[in-house]
Structure 1
């Protein structure tokens, strides 16, 4: 006599496509990084790597690597928000990406980053709060690319 035991595994599907979020976040991070380097290289070379003790001295490659990594993580968060919101068509995803760029600017760049840089004693620490218009432009560009690439790479759209 033999018995067979089957294990039932429930899988929970999370909304959004995290893989598309990573790809889109990297693309957005690269696009934003190009703008930052063109408009204010010390942000990439000193401020961003200073968050993790990687500068000074200036370390633009480290700054870009950190920045693109942040873009990827925030792209996954965007994918979850877009999925939970049921946003599926490209124009709405691009708009949501732009809104996400504004939100990341208002919270992370304008509030968290100055406090963090001050806490680690970075020479690139901006005033608090730091609602700098060029940074808003950079973050909106990130969001537009994020939303567009997410729409193009998410297989459920």
Structure 2
């Protein structure tokens, strides 16, 4: 005798447009914090990833940073779809978690290796688990999650 079990779990793809909007706004807010707390990060380190600095260029750094924020916002939207999009609080918490992951993997581990590979003058040590950077990424994730929650049904 065979038995079958069926599960009706619905997984959404998330709203990628809301992810882009949330990612852009989150990256702008984060960029403002970076400029206030450590301008060389935005003016030299981030544009150096693509050999766009030196000379220091906060505008180019912000452009690169916001572009990264938009792409990471799309990944966040996919995660929101997998966990089941929910309340603003749930999405804010997911955003904070996503901010911590992006800090640990991308900023603390990948960025120092990448900057070293391109010969950047702003190459941080490896690993670079800097607490200010954690704060910036948590703020990015929080703003991303809240904005995503507010616009997901309108896009």
Q: Same fold, TM exceeding 0.5?
A: yes
Task: With the length of structure 1 as denominator, give the TM-score of the two structures.
Answer: 0.90
Q: CA deviation at 1:14?
A: 5.8
Query: Pairwise CA RMSD of aligned residues?
Result: 1.2
Report which of the two structures shows the higher radius of gyration computed on alpha carbons. 1
The runs of at least 4 consecutive aligned structure 1 residues that moved more than 2 Å come to none
Q: CA deviation at 1:84?
A: 1.1
Q: Distance in 2 between matches of 1:131 and 1:34?
A: 20
Q: CA deviation at 1:88?
A: 1.5
Corresponding residue of 2:123: 125
Q: CA deviation at 1:85?
A: 1.1
Larger deviation: 82-91 or 105-114? 82-91
Q: How does 1:66-145 map to 2 (within 5 A)?
A: 66-145=64-143
Q: Deviations over 1:48-77 (max 9, x none)?
A: 000001000001100000000000000000
Unaligned runs of 5+ in 2: 1-10
Corresponding residue of 2:6: none
Task: With the length of structure 2 as denominator, give the TM-score of the two structures.
Answer: 0.91
Kindly indicate whether residue 20 of structure 2 is the aligned counterpart of residue 36 of structure 1: no
Unaligned runs of 5+ in 1: 1-12
